[in-house]
Structure formats: structure tokens, C-alpha cells
Amino acid sequence: MDKKKLIEELNKEIFNCNRCPLYLSKTNYVPGDGNPESNILFIGEAPGREEDIKGKPFVGKAGKILEENINKILNLDREKVFITNVIKCRPPNNRDPKEEEIKSCSIWLIKQLEIIKPSLIITLGNHSTKFIFEYFGLKFESIMKHRGKVYEVKKWDKIVKIIPTIHPASTLYHKDWRDLFDKDFYEIKKNIENENESSGILKYIK
């Protein structure tokens, strides 16, 4: 089965999830969207209000910032990459996800990882960076320590790069952090270009 079909099948399972109480208060499940054939995976924290209403990740204010950088710095459309979150249902009032919610929900992210097998993972903020670092056996300290750096792990018979950056929503509260977010995207761009050049094919962009 191709990756698109596998993601559709997985979404059917996610739409029936009752592994934690967040499914009771959500409007829609937000499994993630984009191109599962892409080698680039963005991972955020959890759906907010807009995402909960639309059932799509990053469609509110933070999404606008993320999309702007995907468009203007990476020169990509969001449909070319896959975007998801650690948590698939909105936590009430956008509170931080609880440890046990992350534990229950992460089976879906792990299944998505195993279908997509990305070559480049961009984690957005503390929660997704911590989760991905632990999943790949890296030691997580803090997002500010790891942001903008490139981490390489061996997985799926290839080198997988992980580049953490701050959460786009944080740039709304700390105006001077927008520069950090942009800077990290230039690092991401450099890695995509290097990879494409060295392999001689558009390895990341299908």
C-alpha cells in the first residue's frame, strides 16, 4: 500500500481514538496533513482553537507564521511537506498537554513516523523536540539549547536529520524571537539544499 493510503487508514483509527479524555472535549481530531510521500516532517505540539474547528494543523495565527516561513524561506508550499502534532486533540483552553496525554497519544505520531519515514524532522517547540529526542535516543535539555542545530540519527537504513526550532506561537509573545525562528529556517533551507545537491535528485521534495 502506498503511504497516502496507509495514512488514510491510520486516520480512520485516529478518528475513533478514546485513549485519553481529550477526545471528549475536542470538536475535531487533528491527525495532520500534507504529503506523506514527502521526506520533510514538521511536528508541533497540539491543535489550538482554529485547528480544533477545522480539523487541520497550524491554520491559526501560529500556522500563518509557520506557513510564511515554509513559503518564503524554504520556497515550498505546505502541501509539499507533512505537518502534524504530538497531540491529536485540542487540550482545553490551549493548556500544555499532560505527560499522560502525550504518552497515550504518541502511538499515533509513532505510526505516522513509521509510515512516512522522513529524512528531515523539524520539531516546533519544547514538547515535540523532547518527544522526538527521547524517541530517537538523544538527550533532551531545552529547546533553546537545541534550536537551530542539526542532529543526525540512523533510522530506516538512512541518516535522519532532526532540526529543532522554537514554536511559531512563541514569536507572537516574544517579538525578538521571530529572528531566531527565521534563522533556524535558513539552517533548515541549507540542509535541504545540501542534500538535494549531494544526491543529485530532489530527495526531499517530491
Nearer CB in complex with ligand URA: 58/131: 58
DSSP summary character for residue 80: G
Nearer CB in complex with ligand URA: 62/109: 62
| Stretch touching ligand URA by CB under 6 A, among 13-21, 55-63, 108-116, 148-156 | 55-63
Give yes or no for residue 51 binding ligand URA (CB under 6 A): yes
- Binding positions for ligand URA, 61-100, rule CB under 6 A: 62-63, 85
Give yes or no for residue 44 binding ligand URA (CB under 6 A): yes
Cα–Cα distance, 183 to 78 (Å, whole number): 19
Terminal C-alpha separation, the chain: 18
Q: Are 21 and 35 in contact (CB under 8 A)?
A: no
| Stretch touching ligand URA by CB under 6 A, among 18-26, 40-48, 154-162, 196-204 | 40-48
| Residue in the structure block whose three cell numbers are 523532547 | 130
Q: Which of 58, 108, 131, 181 binds ligand URA (CB under 6 A)?
A: 58
Phi-psi sector, 188: left (phi>0), alpha (psi -120 to 50), beta: alpha
| Stretch touching ligand URA by CB under 6 A, among 5-13, 58-66, 112-120, 145-153 | 58-66
- The residue number with the shortest CB distance to ligand URA is 44
Which cell goes with 56? Answer: 487541520
Give yes or no for residue 121 binding ligand URA (CB under 6 A): no
Give yes or no for residue 45 binding ligand URA (CB under 6 A): yes
Cα–Cα distance, 83 to 50 (Å, whole number): 15
Give yes or no for residue 32 binding ligand URA (CB under 6 A): no
User: H or E stretch including 23?
Assistant: helix 22-25
User: H or E stretch including 54?
Assistant: helix 49-54
Footprint of ligand URA (CB under 6 A): 44-48, 51, 57-58, 60, 62-63, 85, 169
